[in-house]
Structure 1
């Protein structure tokens, strides 16, 4: 997940991170409810849902199982000491690092609402509405935001190539960051979502 295209929205005063393609940071979302995504990924029902979703999306389902110690916060379904599904068929991506920089377990938008329902029904509806708004919102603002993110990332990549470019990056960075933030705010305003 690219840190520059992460859009934080607030659910009951706590930030929940999505990217501009509607993927949700499940690690951050689960923390709101004092839970962990690995417990949901370990459920038999989750594996069945992911298999069916992969089939309907025409994605090959080849899960990588990671043996993990069971959390004490498991709720719903049979979990036992089953391994968790991770980095699975374009439905789940795990990335090291802080959540602000895109680290954590990310779930495909079509998987996110099923996960959110496991956390809390009201939260699931909230997620469904926010994902829908991100994916179906005003394209002009979304396109501008995506473009600003792409330009920012490309400039950052170029900057790392040489000292001279690094000096140019330092000059460009504030304007590019402003542009990303401006279009993030425009996107949030257009979609009618609370950016607080």
Structure 2
């Protein structure tokens, strides 16, 4: 990567873009928005976006791509996480979206034996919701994860695990559900 840079502005902060390849500094975008790159990279939607983008590039140019879409570069000056400009735009949009925490809507993952429920509620009523579910369930419920989200998040997860659906919002538990909620699968 060449060291010549153009300075852009995002959320009233300077963001560097490399002249040679157009790659953009994601660390600077994250800092400007108060977000973390690793949280974005863990998302299923981010992984799908990067995979789709790589597939499009491969279909346009049958040769192997020489540079990855996201590059980690060490060092204090010019170091950090750099991304292809199209990927950087998606990251900036994610960073700049209105916080879902304000409305308190969450999607949760509860486990009971070999089954899991992916449901939605408000943060304020989460404990009541879990207590109500426990009343109708002979197995001890364990709340595994909670993420801020809307109906679209819950619907996307239901669609992803539809082949494991038992009834309603209950599914046969899959370890990959943990990563969809930002949890390391090996930790459980």
TM-score (norm 1): 0.42
Larger relative strand fraction = 2
Task: Name the structure where helix makes up a greater proportion of residues.
Answer: 1
